[in-house]
Structure 1
Amino acid sequence: MNGERYIRQTNLKDFGPKAQERLSKSKVLVIGAGGLGIPVLTYLNAMGVGTLGIVDGDTVSGSNLHRQVLYDEADVGRSKVQIAIRKLRAQNSDTQLISFEQFLSKENALGIIANYDIVVDASDNFPTRYLVNDACILLGKPFVYGALHGFEGQVSVFNHNDGPTYRCLFPNMPGPDEVPDCNMNGVLGVIPGIVGNLQALEVVKVLTGVGEVLSGKLLLFDGLSQSFQHIKFSLVPDSLKMEELKPTYNFECTSGITSIETLELEQLMEKDSVQLIDVRTSEEFCADHLEGAHHIPLSELIERKSEIDFARPAYFICQSGVRSQKAIERLREYNTGPELINVKGGMNNLRAYVAKY
């Protein structure tokens, strides 16, 4: 351990060399190398955490750059994990950096999380948060939660020393109609930095035993008023009654919507000409799309509905499966013909499970 490098920490009366040694022996898994994950990774790496695992299957886009400050313009289109590993290694060559260039899924979650002391949920969607929580319960791991909305953020620590879980606070995943369109809501660039740093601080407190951990407390940050609020909540014992992961962590389809798994879509596309409608934004589509997909952004769907052949099945895809469901709901008013089929999990699932895409 480089004593001079960390002297400003080890000189702290309530921290000292022992806490620094605990950090150096710790293994932290960060799920998401985006707005929240970058400050978490940057500071934990700088502060001397021994091992950092990074889980993310995404690439850098231009719209990331105002808040994901580890990346620069030359990185657009490249793997976030690969870039993060390279830049973090230059920052601190002593850290063991482990890459998982994939999205967290039901199939890989337990195997990845098992090898770490604590998990940081720096994701941006509800399915991943519930998956992280449930996997951490089964494995007995604490995790640090962070979330963003506009000018606001939330932070808490779950599953810590028999404390409350994420499901104690949010028992059930919201339906797709209760969730704003993914990638369509704004966030002020500095807010993820503030919230991510608060997450990093909670990780340090859990690992070293210094300070009071945000277990059983939800911290709410309002950037416009520069105010903090704490909401206390208690353990709900039923949230611990779990023997295995749920059958699925995709959003439940709204009533009457036919859906298809991503692997089924791949098999269909190998055999037949499939009418696939991609309802993401132009930027998302240009950055990554399936060959043969027809692009109609959700915001333009109704005025461009004539571009869809309602005489044969139409498959709808977005990033996570939310906007594609909303597209089908909107088109139902105009179509009474063949099936409108949602691709569950969207491009995220395709990236996670179908290597060739």
Structure 2
Amino acid sequence: MHGRSRPLSLDFSEDELHRYSRHILLGEVGAVGQARLRAARVLVVGAGGLGSPLALYLAAAGVGTIGIADHDTLELSNLQRQVAHVTARVGQRKADSAAEALRALNPLTTVEVHARRLDEAAADDLIPRYDIVCDGTDNFPTRFLLGDACHRLGRTLVSAAVLRFEGQLSTFKSHLGPPHPCHRCLHPEPPPPGLVPSCSEAGVLGAVTGVMGTLQATEVLKEILGIGEGMSGRLLLWDALDARFRTIRLRRDPACRLCGSAAPD
């Protein structure tokens, strides 16, 4: 069940009215929109460079329940970009460290910790509990597993990726049917191992993950609120060195093995 279809309470405490006052002033948000945010449940997969700013802004915005799924432990090399964490928590589980940061930022948000590897069983267990899923992972097998599972389980996926000085962003809601494409309409199969380097191999400018994670959070909030033009059917590309954004159209592929006419039921 999505947050907008749950019964909404407009009964806000004085603390909530003060905390979210700049949202409530926006005509596109208002009290009803803030109630939608409070009722929403969002799963953030990956508490790293993308997941850190993403989860922090979701918590700051008043999203009622945020799930953090990450099985890794925090390392010193993570702190160059993973801003939800601090030096004193090196060696802790990332999911626990991120949850501590979110609760300190906004104690009104419920944070659910899932310190487990995202395999197919975990995806089938976790994804149905949430309204929207965010992909902040850094490897192709997990990205494809997550994209396939969100299509199959009927959940919107907001996905971002970064490498070196570049980032990309899109929203996938192919479970709603045409014209929405799925992630395999963009990349039918994962690239061969070693063809595309990881951030640990090629590097990444830390601030690039902050920009893309914040853009990702913005799209999640738009999806919950039902405002603006979403990113389904569009791919945003950003080159930080050229300071240039570019958006290209993504079309649903009739021959796609996941969402096309020949895909298995």
Offset at residue 175 of structure 1 (A): 1.0
Offset at residue 67 of structure 1 (A): 0.6
Match of 1:110 in 2: 124
Match of 2:25 in 1: 11
Offset at residue 24 of structure 1 (A): 0.6
- The answer to whether the 8 Å contact 2:163/2:199 transfers is no
Match of 1:54 in 2: 68
Match of 1:166 in 2: 183
SS in 1 for 2:18: coil
Match of 2:202 in 1: 185
Distance in 2, matches of 1:154 and 1:166, equals 13
Does 2:239 match 1:222?
yes
Offset at residue 179 of structure 1 (A): 2.7
SS in 1 for 2:130: coil
Out of 152, 162, 168, the position equivalent to 1:154 is: 168
Out of 54, 79, 84, the position equivalent to 1:40 is: 54
Match of 2:81 in 1: 67
Q: TM-score, normalised by structure 1?
A: 0.66
Show structure 2 runs of 5+ residues with no match: 1-11
Match of 1:194 in 2: 211
Amino acid at match of 1:36: L
In structure 2, relative to structure 1, the CA distance for the partners of 1:147 and 1:181 (3 Å cut) is closer
Identify the range of structure 1 (9-18 vs 38-47) with the bigger mean alpha-carbon deviation. Answer: 9-18
- The answer to whether the 8 Å contact 1:37/1:196 transfers is yes
Offset at residue 181 of structure 1 (A): 5.3
Distance in 2, matches of 1:242 and 1:39, equals 37
In structure 2, relative to structure 1, the CA distance for the partners of 1:54 and 1:4 (3 Å cut) is same
Distance in 2, matches of 1:14 and 1:89, equals 27
Offset at residue 77 of structure 1 (A): 1.3
Percent identity at matched positions?
Answer: 45
SS in 2 for 1:154: strand
Q: TM-score, normalised by structure 2?
A: 0.89
Offset at residue 236 of structure 1 (A): 1.8
Amino acid at match of 2:208: I
Show structure 1 runs of 5+ residues with no match: 244-357
Offset at residue 174 of structure 1 (A): 1.1
Offset at residue 86 of structure 1 (A): 1.5
Match of 2:146 in 1: 132
Does 2:248 match 1:231?
yes
Identify the range of structure 1 (183-192 vs 25-34) with the bigger mean alpha-carbon deviation. Answer: 183-192
Offset at residue 184 of structure 1 (A): 1.4
Question: 1 or 2, which has the higher helix percentage?
Answer: 2
Runs of 4+ residues over 2 Å off in structure 1? none
Out of 78, 83, 92, the position equivalent to 2:97 is: 83
Does 2:176 match 1:176?
no
Match of 2:8 in 1: none
- The answer to whether the 8 Å contact 2:163/2:198 transfers is no
- The answer to whether the 8 Å contact 1:138/1:242 transfers is no
In structure 2, relative to structure 1, the CA distance for the partners of 1:10 and 1:181 (3 Å cut) is closer
Amino acid at match of 1:184: E
SS in 1 for 2:200: coil
Distance in 2, matches of 1:174 and 1:12, equals 43
SS in 2 for 1:74: helix
Identify the range of structure 1 (83-92 vs 150-159) with the bigger mean alpha-carbon deviation. Answer: 83-92
Offset at residue 177 of structure 1 (A): 3.4
